[in-house]
Structure 1
Amino acid sequence: MTAFLSVKDLFVRFSTEDGTVKAVDGLSFDLERGRTLGIVGESGSGKSVTSLSVLGLHDARSTEIRGEILLDGQELTGAPESVLEKLRGDKMAMIFQDSLTALSPYYTVGRQIAEPYRKHTGASKREARQRAVEMLEKVGIPNPSLRVDDYPHQFSGGMRQRAMIAMALVCDPELLIADEPTTALDVTVQAQILDLLKDLQQQTGSAIVLITHDLGVVANTVDELLVMYAGRAVERGSVREVLRAPQHPYTWGLLGSMPRLTSDVNEPLTPIPGTPPSLLAPPPGCPFHPRCAYTAEAGGEVCRTERPVLPPGRGAACHLSAERKRTVFNEQIKPRLG
């Protein structure tokens, strides 16, 4: 089956006073209609930069983008702004991280939802307002016919997030990118929003990219999982494969740093040592090697000098042998995970 969204060898560079930031470094992935791809990783790993590249929202004056971004066979890299404007909000849409700053404080929530609907469908103001009310009701906003005239500051955090989802879905996009849609929300509201995205996908058959740093969020939400580190994909596979039998030391670290209900309350969490590298000067070889506890087992020097390749399909970009990965995981990592 031909992928609806196909990203191949994507490189994104930002020019700054301190030098060139290598924000995304050779990223590739495919996504089919009706499927959900989860992209996970620490802050600064390139998740949001990738999503903004798909929508063409980077400033061309300071950004260099190379590679292919195909949406239903249409090349987006280097496409004219007029073409991207027709696609954004209509065929592809995005739920941004912070709803309070993404929504304008000067306009009512209803007007902000209605605006893209009018732009892409040619609907009248009355029709667009009615569509905004319908969308607010669809995402679970109480009394939508009244709340449509409220401003963003009059909505709670969870309601603003739902309003952003309504705005992103008002034109029934075929691709939805949700960038940390549950950030700063309590657990109950997180579950409601994730269930809402799943229900809307079942109704429309859209493709969804869910970006997060929380592996717990993606466990029961996505079909495929892509783990990013320092602008690169380090592991991918089905969500079941990656969470039940991870192959990369970075993924082991992400899982090991998560609290578990079965853990002793007095048992400390196991954080990943060190900090993510500067993307102004990422380390040579495997970008994770300065923080990796298994460099010596992989040969030491090879991790510091040779970039590991992520194989197609299920796999991890790591110099450890497949047999050694299984042994380390079963003997050292799995017992800690429970």
Structure 2
Amino acid sequence: MTSTDQQPFLSVRDLKVHFSTEDGVVKAVDGLSFDLAKGKTLGIVGESGSGKSVTNLTILGLHDRDRTAIDGEILLDGKELLTATERELEQLRGNKMSMIFQDALASLSPYHTIGKQIGETYRKHTGASKAEARTRAIEMLRRVGIPQPDVRVDDYPHQFSGGMRQRAMIAMALVCDPELLVADEPTTALDVTVQAQIMDLLKDLQQEFGTAIIFITHDLGVIADIADDVLVMYGGRCVERGTKKEVLRAPQHPYTWGLLGSMPTLDGPVDVPLTPIPGSPPSLLNPPTGCRFHPRCTFKEKVQGGLCSTEQPLLEITDGRGAACHLTADQRRDYFADQTATRSH
């Protein structure tokens, strides 16, 4: 996803994250690779249970080390994260990399003011005084658009609206100017107007700081607004990736077609029903053989020899573009063209 002459700021190679449970081993992420450059946004999209959040919690080292088996490589600005100690990760978290969680109310402490929580993060990584940390907290609240920040800095989370709490979370995540920001569905619980404001805020702050952003979502509409590149996950694996334009305008995988087909459009006819993806996501305790999407795929009969159910399709990446599917390139192009024509009439 990055040009060959530019070293990626974040590089993930063949990442596997497996959890031990009473019922067996959960293969939450099963061989994932991608790159991300500074100042760029990677959108990771997929249904619940596809491995999106697990991937990014692993990048930040926020996993249970006693129950988690991890293999692969994660390089952040050249530093290997999977072999880093907890002390080293603590220094990186909040300073070099940071995360915005989906539920700001659950992530913020109800017992401390917004300003104290932002300020403590700043003090931990910079050694600033309490007065300096308070000044920095007010500055960050102003930067994320909180009105009267010098007054609201002393409010508690329950005194903020949902949108303001999310802005406060962004302020806390950015207080130490991290170079990597992971946003885990940060706008899911917000109304459309506030969602748009948060998206604009993230884009403005990225332009100001040059931050690399991983944006996790199940909503391709959000991806269309914020991402430079898109990675589509299903059953713990990447099934498609490319630039935003490539994935949204000329998708190559039946799962991506299904995601697009289940979304309403503003320019299409209002009387065309949405087409849900049949079936349910796979169990990661006992995933299907072959292509993990094949039990739900309406195109598997087009592939000769029943390969979809027996052989895992390779994800062949050329210039950052690829899809893991046994359909030929011509078949994929023709089937998607037919789907597009059907929806537009």
| TM-score category, normalised to shorter length | over 0.9
**Alignment correspondent of 2:332:** 325
Partners in 1 of 2:333 and 2:344 — Cα distance? Answer: 15
Partners in 2 of 1:141 and 1:300 — Cα distance? Answer: 60
- Of 91, 95, 120 in structure 2, the residue corresponding to residue 90 of structure 1 is 95
**Alignment correspondent of 2:55:** 50
Deviation of 1:263 (Å): 3.8
Aligned AA for 2:296?
A: R
Aligned AA for 2:86?
A: E
Residues 83-114 of structure 1 deviation map (CA, whole Å, 9 limit, x = unaligned):
00000000000001111111111111111111
Q: Give matches, 1:204-243, under 5 Å.
A: 204-243=209-248
Give secondary structure in 1 for the equivalent of 2:27: strand
CA RMSD of aligned residues (A): 1.1
Partners in 1 of 2:240 and 2:58 — Cα distance? Answer: 21
**Alignment correspondent of 1:102:** 107
- Of 271, 276, 291 in structure 1, the residue corresponding to residue 276 of structure 2 is 271
Partners in 1 of 2:40 and 2:61 — Cα distance? Answer: 22
Partners in 1 of 2:94 and 2:188 — Cα distance? Answer: 22
**Alignment correspondent of 1:159:** 164
- Of 296, 300, 311 in structure 2, the residue corresponding to residue 295 of structure 1 is 300
Tell me: CA distance 1:337–1:7, structure 2 relative to 1, closer, same or farther (3 Å).
farther
Q: Could you tell me whether the CA contact under 8 Å between 1:285 and 1:303 is conserved in 2?
A: yes
Q: Could you tell me whether the CA contact under 8 Å between 1:32 and 1:207 is conserved in 2?
A: yes
Structure 2 residue runs of 5 or longer lacking an equivalent are: 1-5
Give secondary structure in 1 for the equivalent of 2:292: coil
> After the TM superposition, which segments of 4 or more aligned residues of structure 1 sit over 6 Å from their partners?
none
Partners in 1 of 2:76 and 2:230 — Cα distance? Answer: 19
TM-score by length of 1: 0.98
Tell me: CA distance 1:153–1:285, structure 2 relative to 1, closer, same or farther (3 Å).
same
Deviation of 1:337 (Å): 5.8
Q: Give matches, 1:56-95, under 5 Å.
A: 56-95=61-100
Partners in 2 of 1:300 and 1:17 — Cα distance? Answer: 37
Size of the aligned set, in residue pairs, is 338
Aligned AA for 2:174?
A: L
Q: Could you tell me whether the CA contact under 8 Å between 2:122 and 2:128 is conserved in 1?
A: yes
Residues 240-286 of structure 1 deviation map (CA, whole Å, 9 limit, x = unaligned):
00000000000000000001223444432110000001100110100
Aligned AA for 1:318?
A: C
- Of 24, 37, 44 in structure 2, the residue corresponding to residue 39 of structure 1 is 44
Tell me: CA distance 1:120–1:337, structure 2 relative to 1, closer, same or farther (3 Å).
farther
Partners in 2 of 1:136 and 1:121 — Cα distance? Answer: 18
- Of 256, 261, 278 in structure 2, the residue corresponding to residue 256 of structure 1 is 261
Give secondary structure in 2 for the equivalent of 1:267: coil
| 1:118 lines up with 2:123 in the alignment | yes
| 1:314 lines up with 2:325 in the alignment | no
Q: Could you tell me whether the CA contact under 8 Å between 1:235 and 1:316 is conserved in 2?
A: yes
Deviation of 1:181 (Å): 1.1
Partners in 2 of 1:230 and 1:282 — Cα distance? Answer: 8
Partners in 2 of 1:250 and 1:263 — Cα distance? Answer: 21
Deviation of 1:220 (Å): 2.4
Aligned AA for 1:185?
A: L
Residues 23-57 of structure 1 deviation map (CA, whole Å, 9 limit, x = unaligned):
00000000001111000000110000001000000
Structure 1 residue runs of 5 or longer lacking an equivalent are: none
Give secondary structure in 1 for the equivalent of 2:35: strand
Q: Give matches, 1:119-198, under 5 Å.
A: 119-198=124-203
Deviation of 1:334 (Å): 4.7
Partners in 2 of 1:316 and 1:265 — Cα distance? Answer: 31
Percent identity, aligned pairs only, is 71
Q: Could you tell me whether the CA contact under 8 Å between 2:41 and 2:229 is conserved in 1?
A: yes
Q: Could you tell me whether the CA contact under 8 Å between 2:269 and 2:344 is conserved in 1?
A: no
Give secondary structure in 2 for the equivalent of 1:113: helix
Give secondary structure in 1 for the equivalent of 2:225: coil
Partners in 1 of 2:220 and 2:152 — Cα distance? Answer: 34
Partners in 2 of 1:334 and 1:134 — Cα distance? Answer: 51
